[in-house]
Amino acid sequence: MNGTSAGSVHGLPLEEDKRLRDASTHQLNSDSFGNTVREFSNFSSPINVTYQILAGIPISRKRFLTIGLSSVKRKKGNYLLETIKSVFEQSSYEELKEITVVVHLADFDLTLCESIVQDISRKFSHHIIAGRLVIIHTPVQHYPVLEGLKRNYNDPDARVKFRSKQNVDYAFLLNFCANLSDYYLMLEDDVRCAKNFLSTIKKVINSRKGSNWVTLEFSKLGYIGKLYHTHDLPRLAHFLLMFYQEMPCDWLLIHFRCLLAQKETIRFKPSLFQHMGYYSSYKGAENKLKDDDFEEDLLDIPDNPSAVISTNMNTFENYEINRAYSSAEEYFWAKPPSSGDFYHIVFEKPIKISKIKVITGTEDRPNDILHHGTLEVGERVTGSKKNRKCTTYLRLGDFINGYFEIDNIDRKVLFNIDCIRILVTKNQNEWLIIKSISVWTTETLNQ
């Protein structure tokens, strides 16, 4: 059983911060734990924790995505092996090169942990050897007080202890993963994955290039499928430790993204991860929660390549134009448009497009559709960076009942497409919601 510290994994701490971190480590088991955390001068630095690496070695080359799982023994059922299996089996050979799975065994019973490591090693030895699977443990002495905590929400003592320890378990996991990749995905230990989930996540990240986000959500359940930039992990780890006894982890995650100025949930459909456990890790209670937006075989996810978007329509409040060009549960909303108004997309590079689909209106507001409009594609971009447009456009068709879809575009349009323009062709009294714009590409071309 090998030991390593956050300093050896994440780089040696700065001397000027060493005193504070030494003091914080010393105080982790004291009554003044909360006050010590509040005195941290730099929440972007790692927590000084000594980990035990039970299997695998993190490779030095940064990968695209780290997937973190924290696991404790359940009184009924054990889904950890199935979860790890799903992550690997639902990934292609090329996708496997870009992921690292870190499992934090959070039981204090080392004999139990060793038994679980043996089971995992027997089944996934080739992934451990390849550096794709690492199993870690945080010794009990690094944990704060877990007895006699505040009974918020009238939870029984056992429940308070369980959820408080869970917050700390995740904090230590996040801390370990902070420098392993560009992005971090939080899963539970009883999850089934959609096929090629990594490729879908990469498409979503690319479609939001240039926008600020803290958390992207790929499941609506708990803290399954929550994606972060790894540069935010040290702050999130400190945050979970600071408020470990206050509330459950999923509530703290919401507060964290709000504090970092992402006020609204950015969730994507269909969901990429499904809760498969029947028994909870808390006292073996039944947990039948399922995500009804989950699709295991995602066959038709749009690419939505990076683009600059503009409009001359009167946007309502914060229902901004970028919301339509996203697979998240959000939309663009404008006051009644007039003939000649437009919604314009200019791609970073000319592309070949196979399919375009645009949905306007919502179930709640079925009349806020584009009643009269057309969709065009263009080539040869001119103008300044903030006011770019194409010099020529080709009309592909009209909206019918607020809906537009066309495929095999690459067979019908001979030029490489630089722009898409939605054009209003008649004044309307109703407001306009553009719920989603989906673009499928065949290849991206160099300019």
- pLDDT value at position 63? 93
DSSP 3-state of 17: helix
What are the backbone dihedrals phi and psi of residue 299, each rounded to the nearest 5 degrees, phi first?
Answer: -100, -20
Task: Give the residue from 276, 262, 259 showing the smallest Cα distance to 87.
Answer: 276
Distance CA 321, CA 343 (A): 8
CB-count burial class (<10 Å; 0-12, 13-18, 19+) for 31:
exposed
Burial class of residue 60 (count of CB atoms within 10 Å of its CB; 0-12, 13-18, 19+): exposed
CB 66 within 8 A of CB 201: no
Tell me, what DSSP letter sits at residue 127? H
Q: What is the pLDDT at residue 296?
A: 58
State the pLDDT at residue 359. 95
pTM exceeding 0.85: no
Q: Is the alpha carbon torsion for 303, 63, 242, 52 positive or negative?
A: positive
Task: Give whole-number Cα distances, 67 to 14, 104, 184, 197, in Å.
Answer: 28, 11, 6, 12
Distance between CA 234 and CA 252 in Å, rounded? 15
Question: Edge to edge, what strands does the sheet with 133-137 contain?
Answer: 2-5, 50-55, 133-137, 99-105, 63-71, 181-187, 226-229, 216-217
Sole residue written with tokens 């399922």? 290
- What is the identity of the amino acid at 400? I
166 contacts: CB under 8 Å, gap ≥ 6: 70, 106, 248, 249
Say what the pLDDT of residue 184 is. 96
> What is the chain's pLDDT, residue by residue, as a tens digit (447 residues)?
445 444 333 333 333 333 333 333 333 344 434 443 444 345 777 788 889 899 998 777 889 999 999 988 876 557 899 999 999 998 999 999 999 999 999 888 888 999 999 999 999 999 999 899 999 999 988 888 887 767 766 777 778 888 888 899 999 999 999 989 999 999 988 888 888 899 889 988 887 877 889 999 998 877 789 999 999 999 999 999 888 888 888 888 888 888 888 888 888 878 898 877 544 444 444 445 655 554 556 656 788 888 889 999 999 988 889 889 876 778 999 999 999 999 999 998 899 999 999 999 998 999 999 999 999 999 998 887 777 889 999 999 999 999 999 999 999 998 999 999 999 999 999 999 999 999 999 854 433
Copy the structure tokens of residue 28. Answer: 């982790």
The reported pLDDT for the residue numbered 288 is: 56
According to the model, what pLDDT value does residue 174 have?
94
Looking at the chain, how many residues does it have?
Answer: 447
